Amino acid sequence: MRRAAIYFAIALLGACSAAVRKDLTPPLAAEAPEAAAGEAGLLDSPPLSPSEMVEHALSRVTFGPRPRDRALLEREGIARFIEDQLHPESIADPALYDRIYQFDVVQEDSSSLVRELEEARMKKKDFVAQLAQVKLVRAAFSERQLQEVMADFWFNHFNVFGGKQMEAALLPEYETRSLRPNALGNFGELLEATARSPAMLIYLDNWRSRRGGLNENYARELLELHTLGVAGGYTQRDIIEVARCFTGWTVEEPQKDPRFVFRPRMHDYGPKLVLGQVISPGGGEEDGERVLRILAGHPSTARFIAGKLARRFVSDDPPEALVERLAATYQRTQGDIRSMLRAIFESPEFWSRRALRAKVRSPLELVAGAVRALDAKVGDPLALSRAVARIGEPLYAAQPPTGYGDTAQAWLSSGALLARIDFGLQLANGQLQGVKVDLSPLAGSDPASVLTKAAAQLGAGELSEKTRASLLDQLQKAPAKPELQAARAVGLLLGAPELQRR
């Protein structure tokens, strides 16, 4: 088995690296404009088959397809499914809350959580462990899949490290009040919600920033990572001026009552000049609000957000024409995220064969996707959240404000690939405590048929000849018991190159 794992790690590294090198300009959606398709150079590409379109939509809009999701899309259509996901408020999700409300970090407010953390500092790891489990459960079991995909996307965009000071106690409210409600809404409103969040104010030290004691951390990341981008046209002088505008944006008693408050005595009331726009003297809290409006409406922000969304949903190196159209959509709709996503899902680039399985799954996507594909029964998600960490993405533990990356390079290493394979084998063989999978429908005495059924269940699609031949060789060496054949097939498939991409 170890030899098989090493082989697949080598094969995976080569296959995924090849995917990164490809020109990833996405087959043509039936409703997409022909002119746009021509500009993207896609008219000569063979279109995706109906089954490929279903798998592609599910792999991008969700954390991974469940068997019943395929049946739903085939019955009601892809367009209906996507539109429903764009409006999560219309999707009932009662079972999810039964799963997540067993955790203290979900039941209690920030004030209670910070007091608990202050009284017993050694509990910080427990808090983060609970947060990670809740995130994994949401990714695997929520019916509002696109909302969860976008909540994860925005958390990395507006990253907060859970290990700093009291952050672990502030993160539940940060996600539930700042990120998730705005994940498909207006970018300007999302930006302001994060700017006022105690979690962000403490993480980037703005809560200490005052007239005569300026801290530039939040201002710098606001411009570089949250809005304009590193090439967005700002200067060091702009960073200083933005920092002056946000003096007084602080937190009321961080260790007892962590809520946003504006303190006039901390504010710099002098005139400021931000990106060429004058902010008159004498302002207060509204100075920061003015900066947020300037940044949310800036063309560089439109392009920066467009590029990141295209990278998440289409390819690591998204087509320039698509990014330009998305930036135009941002500006036309004044930052409406739902409109930008709809533009992606209706684009020829999204439905191109070159976009099919062009993205490497993050560890969270791999683990949550495997749980969904196998309809795993999860009584305790701790082992799953630990698996995500072992594969390379300990949740809430990205220390830099950049968060975790969204390209293949962020996830490809020999150690990480072997950890992916080990996870697949452990899951399939029932070795993850608190997690059970029923593989009896896949069982059989013929290795070829077992492999075919397992690949279909996992959404592997067409296996390469090399992968299929190697898997069959391994299965033929396995014990003849049908249930062991199925477990071995699923475990090896979860480590195969085809299952590392979405």
Residue 461 has a pLDDT of 73
Residue pair 183/151 in contact by the 8 Å Cβ criterion? yes
Residue 11 has a pLDDT of 53
364/149 Cα distance (integer angstroms): 11
How many Cα neighbours within 13 Å face the side chain of 175?
26
296/186 Cα distance (integer angstroms): 10
Q: In whole angstroms, what separates CA 385 from the centre of its chain?
A: 15
Q: Which bin fits 251, alpha (ψ -120 to 50), beta or left (φ > 0)?
A: beta
Burial of 389 (0-12, 13-18, 19+ CB in 10 A): middle
Residue pair 147/88 in contact by the 8 Å Cβ criterion? yes
Residue 28 has a pLDDT of 30
Block mean pLDDT (10 aa), the chain, length 502? 52 48 34 45 75 96 96 95 97 94 92 86 80 98 98 98 92 97 98 98 98 98 98 98 98 93 98 98 98 98 98 98 98 98 98 96 98 97 98 97 95 88 94 97 92 93 90 84 90 92 94
Which 3 state secondary structure label does DSSP give 249?
strand
Residue 462 has a pLDDT of 82
Residue 481 has a pLDDT of 84
Tokens matching residue 396: 């809430």
Beta carbons within 10 angstroms of residue 469's beta carbon: 11
DSSP summary character for residue 186: B
Residue 4 has a pLDDT of 52
Indicate yes or no: pTM above 0.85.
yes
Residue 261 has a pLDDT of 98
Residue 42 has a pLDDT of 55
Residue 445 has a pLDDT of 83
3-state SS, 321-378, equals: HHHHHHHHHHHHHCCEHHHHHHHHHCCCCCCCHHHCCCCECCHHHHHHHHHHHCCCEE
Residue 118 has a pLDDT of 80
CA Rg, the chain, in Å? 24
386/38 Cα distance (integer angstroms): 46
Domain spans in the chain, listed from the N-terminal domain onward: 2-22+358-500
Beta carbons within 10 angstroms of residue 121's beta carbon: 8
Residue pair 321/286 in contact by the 8 Å Cβ criterion? no
